[in-house]
Amino acid sequence: MAEQKVIKWLGMICILAGIARMGMTPASLIWGTDSTQELTTGLIACILMSVGSIAFYLVQSRETGVTGFITILAIIIGNILTTAMLWSQFATGGAVAVKPEGLLFNISQMFGTIGFLGGTLVFMILTFLAKVFPRWVPALMLIMILAMFLPIADNKYFAFFWGLSYVGMGYCIWAKKLVNAALPPSQLTYNRDERISG
């Protein structure tokens, strides 16, 4: 019962993280790229995503196995590194500060990007194959990845689709809209067989 509540609240954290991430897009459009408002919503989103993302693995751990754990860990590490980079930008003057330079910053940025993109791509495929989340959830993840390649300056809409995928997954966990989940049906308070048959 306690595990069920923890996972449910992690789902709510993912919803809040997604909303914060989606907030980066209007903040960027209104106040400009790397504005204090955009960076603030991004920092909040990164912190919440670092905490909540493990829920995506917990509800489909049986289906995704060690590979699922490694990919979600890569996503979490990517979010933690991004949090650190955003915090360092605030610490050096916020939106008006010169972006940090140097080997450590470049390595952190590289590993953060690889962890996030690589982890998300593999996790999207695993989520599709696991059939725990509704099919529209991996579709949102695919749209998020494709949004990176939109011919729009500074990828202003990428954050919106990134956040939307988190809201979708978080909602499925919070509202118990999962099928064939790794947790026993009694812990998710619905009967998997009844959902499949009816």
| DSSP output for 121-173 | HHHHHHHHHHT-S-THHHHHHHHHHHHTTSSSGGGTTHHHHHHHHHHHHHHHH
pLDDT tens digits along 16-32: 999 999 999 999 999 98
Mean pLDDT, to the nearest integer, of 68-92?
A: 86
What average pLDDT does the structure give for the chain? Answer: 85
CA distance 64 to 71: 10
- Say what the pLDDT of residue 97 is: 63
Q: How far apart are CA 185 and CA 139, in angstroms?
A: 25
Q: In the prediction, which pLDDT does 134 show?
A: 94
* pLDDT tens-digit series, residues 106-116: 787 787 777 77
Residue 133 neighbours by CB under 8 Å, 6+ apart = 59, 60, 127, 169, 172, 178
- Mean pLDDT value of segment 8-21: 97
